[in-house]
Structure 1
Amino acid sequence: MKRYIQAWNKASLIKRIVIGVVIGLALALVVPSWSAIGILGDVFVGALRAVAPLLVFTLVTNALSKQQEGKKSNMKTIVVLYLFGTFAAALVAVIASFMFPTTLTLANAATDIAPPSGLAEVARNLLLNIVENPVSAISNGNYIGILAWASLFGMAMRKASQQSKDLLETVADVTSSVVAWVINLAPFGILGLVFKSISDQGIEALLGYGQLVLIIVATNLFVALVTNPIIGFLMMRKNPYPLVLKTLRTSGVTAFFTRSSAANIPVNLQLSEELGLDPDTYNISIPLGATINMGGAAITITILTLAAVHTLGIPVDFGTALLLSLVAALSAAGASGVTGGSLLLIPVACSLFGISGDISAQVIGVGFIIGLIQDPCETALNSSTDVLYTAYAEQSAWKKN
């Protein structure tokens, strides 16, 4: 037994996750009534979501407290990449929707969750989240608020004594160690997540929306394997695919199964360290990316909105499509501040075409049905590009030495 445990521990995390996925799928198909297995997934994601806010706060505060005045930083470049990448993903989704128009069967699939009425409400939610009580922000997983308060505390800590800074660094290191222990349990957690998803919803729920699912998956893959590498080549002036594939393999796979950019922050921080990136940068850019870098969300919002447009026979010109890309990008960046994520931002985009709230709510319902595939793909793209764009900025051929 000891030999098997040693072999298990020596295997890479990805190999162990694959084993967990296979076992979870097999159990879901053979013994779907064993609902207790799904508790493994709930415990794993719960543990990650519980410790991730504290990790973000301590890392960002610690990184900013040590940052020297006048020191060069890549953060401006990274933020521009986050915003541009999200807009580019939305634009690709518009093109895909026009190339392969899809219609929906709209009935009574509406949810009872109230979506925001427009971009003004999204902006209002974001501003209110920024000024939320810092203790409440950490306990509620409000990453906008966590980033805002961590930035203020970090800048204030620059004038603190060295002993205080050393204590803060120790707290950040201890929190990182706890997170590393939780991540090692990922294969068992993902086993439970796969079992619960398949046994609860089944594959049959997706068959009625096969073309829609295929377009969403294909668009996410295109952005990950074509659009992002093009951006990388333009930035680094060298082959970006080794970096692209590594981020997808390490960050994208775990994010696909955890279905949470926030829960995947620890994985991205560890990957950034493995890539030799500047910790003063990635300790800030990774939590920030989990908040505003939402290319996958922009794809979901755009494709589902245009599916509703095609269903209702509404004509769309190029200018409106371009505006949709911008609105989807802005809405996606605000998704983390709205309960329910990207799906609840669909009515904002639908309002461009005069689509009623009732119809928009039905489109949200369709989104929940295909969420078994849509949500993991969206999260994998969102999370993996957090590290990818951070690496692009650091290795950019444009960067002045």
Structure 2
Amino acid sequence: MKSFFEKWNQLSIVKRILVGLLIGIVLAVLLPEKASFVVIFGSLFVSALKAVAPILVFFLVMSAIAQHKAGHQTNMGSIIKLYLLGTFLASVIGVAASFLFPVNLTMATAVDSITPPGGVVEVLKTLLLNVVDNPVKALFNANYIGILAWAALLGYMLRHAADTTKTLISNFADALSNIVRFIINFAPLGIMGLVFDSIATSGLETLLSYVNLLVVLVGCMVFVALVVNPLIVYTQIKQNPYPLVLKSIRVSGLTAFFTRSSAANIPVNMELCEDLGLDRDNFSVSIPLGATINMAGAAITISVLTLAAVHTMGIQVDIATALILSLLAAVSACGASGVAGGSLLLIPLACSLFGISNDVAMQVVGVGFIVGVLQDSCETALNSSTDVIFTATAEFKEWKKKGKEIVIPK
């Protein structure tokens, strides 16, 4: 038994996760009732990551800024530009695909228990209010905009603190990072429970009536992941982008697909950034920030579902309006994390651009929840893996300028 565990631990985390994935599928198909206890592993794994992520981000960002040395380059400006560019291009892809492959919806029951935002101003207002949220409340509610703001402010004020104080903060950050590494070792069990729960409880039957919509949604996300993102990376580092893109999808995208939580995947992304040899001062800020504003998957969801409603209602759309929708979807997607319900609740906002009533728009949200089993998984996988890709791209670009070789670990 000891020999088995030694060999098991020698496998890469991705291979171990794939084993857990296969076991989860087999149990869900062959023993859906007798093996139902494995669901708890998925719940525990996601809950543990969600629990540690806010406090981890708080101490990592505070430590990075407190110990920042004057003149040290951070690349944050480049990273944010890449985040915004990627989100906008994803929205454009969603709009273009909806024109090429128009989808008509069979409306679901309206979702009455949730209230969408009234407009872009309300989305941005929520985002700004989250910045000045009570720090304890921000940590409790995993409000990453608020956590980033308070951590950055405290870190800035502690720049001239005693070295012992900075060391204490750094030690807390290191201890939390070690806790994350411990939790991630249980990823195979967690993924096994999550995939078992998805297949055994939801199944694929409910998705069949919306197969056309899913093909467009998932097709757009795959196109952005495998074509658009690599093109962006290539323009920055002028070398083959696929080793970085595929590694990010394999490590970050795989776990994000099953956890369906950008917050839970923040520790996974930070581990990946360390493996890539990136500067902690950069990724400790850019990764949690990306989980908030880098929302390519959300932009696609908003664009595709909105235009599906437009096609269903028989409304004609000109090029100018389509471009406005692309911009609106991108801006709204960046504020998605500040709105309860995420990207789906921003669909009524986009629908209002075409004069579609809120009642009809909420039925489209209902359709979104039905296909959410797959849509939300793919959306989170794209969003989360792209955080690492763009963070690495900005730093690799600086490496190239200095003549440093870029090597992607296997």
TM-score of the aligned structures, taking structure 1 as reference length: 0.97
SS at match of 1:117: coil
- State the partner residue of 1:330: 331
- State the partner residue of 2:203: 202
Q: Matches of 2:76 and 2:179 in 1, distance apart? A: 27
Q: Matches of 1:253 and 1:178 in 2, distance apart? A: 21
- State the partner residue of 1:25: 25
- State the partner residue of 2:389: 388
RMSD: 1.4
SS at match of 1:112: coil
Q: Matches of 1:114 and 1:91 in 2, distance apart? A: 27
Q: Say whether 1:153 aligns with 2:154.
A: yes
The answer to whether the 8 Å contact 1:103/1:308 transfers is yes
- State the partner residue of 2:11: 11
Query: What pairs up with 1:129-144 in 2 under 5 angstroms?
Result: 129-144=130-145
Q: Matches of 1:107 and 1:247 in 2, distance apart? A: 35
Q: Percent identity?
A: 59
SS at match of 1:222: helix
SS at match of 2:262: coil
Moved more, 144-153 or 388-397: 388-397
CA distance 1:160–1:398, shift in 2 (3 Å): closer
- State the partner residue of 2:376: 375
Q: Matches of 1:88 and 1:385 in 2, distance apart? A: 13
Query: What pairs up with 1:202-221 in 2 under 5 angstroms?
Result: 202-221=203-222
SS at match of 1:213: helix
Q: CA deviation at 1:213?
A: 0.7
Q: CA deviation at 1:227?
A: 0.5
Query: What pairs up with 1:217-228 in 2 under 5 angstroms?
Result: 217-228=218-229
- State the partner residue of 1:185: 186
Q: CA deviation at 1:284?
A: 0.8
Q: Matches of 2:335 and 2:58 in 1, distance apart? A: 20
Aligned residue type for 1:343: L
Q: Matches of 1:108 and 1:13 in 2, distance apart? A: 41
Deviations 1:307-355 (A, max 9, x none): 0011001111111111111111111111111111111111111111111
Q: CA deviation at 1:296?
A: 0.7
The answer to whether the 8 Å contact 1:125/1:338 transfers is yes
The answer to whether the 8 Å contact 1:111/1:365 transfers is no
Q: CA deviation at 1:104?
A: 0.4
SS at match of 1:386: helix
Q: CA deviation at 1:33?
A: 2.7
- State the partner residue of 2:408: none
CA distance 1:160–1:397, shift in 2 (3 Å): closer
Equivalent pairs counted in the alignment come to 401
Q: Matches of 2:4 and 2:398 in 1, distance apart? A: 46
Q: CA deviation at 1:274?
A: 1.2
The answer to whether the 8 Å contact 1:129/1:142 transfers is yes
- State the partner residue of 2:81: 80
Q: Matches of 1:52 and 1:17 in 2, distance apart? A: 20
List gaps (5 residues or longer) in structure 2: 403-410
The answer to whether the 8 Å contact 1:235/1:397 transfers is no
The answer to whether the 8 Å contact 1:102/1:212 transfers is yes
Q: CA deviation at 1:196?
A: 1.1
The answer to whether the 8 Å contact 2:266/2:288 transfers is yes
The answer to whether the 8 Å contact 1:111/1:362 transfers is no
SS at match of 1:263: helix
Q: Matches of 1:227 and 1:325 in 2, distance apart? A: 16
CA distance 1:196–1:352, shift in 2 (3 Å): same
The answer to whether the 8 Å contact 1:82/1:289 transfers is yes
Query: What pairs up with 1:303-342 in 2 under 5 angstroms?
Result: 303-342=304-343
Q: Matches of 2:293 and 2:282 in 1, distance apart? A: 16
TM-score of the aligned structures, taking structure 2 as reference length: 0.95
Q: Matches of 2:219 and 2:283 in 1, distance apart? A: 29
Q: CA deviation at 1:109?
A: 3.9
Q: Matches of 2:385 and 2:109 in 1, distance apart? A: 35
SS at match of 2:385: helix
CA distance 1:280–1:373, shift in 2 (3 Å): same
Q: Matches of 2:115 and 2:166 in 1, distance apart? A: 44
- State the partner residue of 1:46: 47
Q: Matches of 2:47 and 2:33 in 1, distance apart? A: 22
Aligned residue type for 2:91: A
Q: CA deviation at 1:36?
A: 2.7
The answer to whether the 8 Å contact 1:134/1:149 transfers is yes
Q: CA deviation at 1:29?
A: 1.8
SS at match of 2:263: coil
Q: Matches of 1:368 and 1:253 in 2, distance apart? A: 21
List gaps (5 residues or longer) in structure 1: none
Q: CA deviation at 1:297?
A: 0.7
SS at match of 1:103: coil
Q: CA deviation at 1:361?
A: 0.8
Deviations 1:112-153 (A, max 9, x none): 211111111111211221111111111111111101111101
Q: CA deviation at 1:107?
A: 4.2
SS at match of 2:99: helix
- State the partner residue of 1:102: 103
The answer to whether the 8 Å contact 1:220/1:381 transfers is yes
Q: CA deviation at 1:70?
A: 3.5
Moved more, 25-34 or 277-286: 25-34
Q: CA deviation at 1:111?
A: 4.3
Q: Matches of 1:182 and 1:339 in 2, distance apart? A: 27
Deviations 1:203-226 (A, max 9, x none): 101000001111111111100111
The answer to whether the 8 Å contact 2:108/2:364 transfers is no
Q: CA deviation at 1:400?
A: 6.1
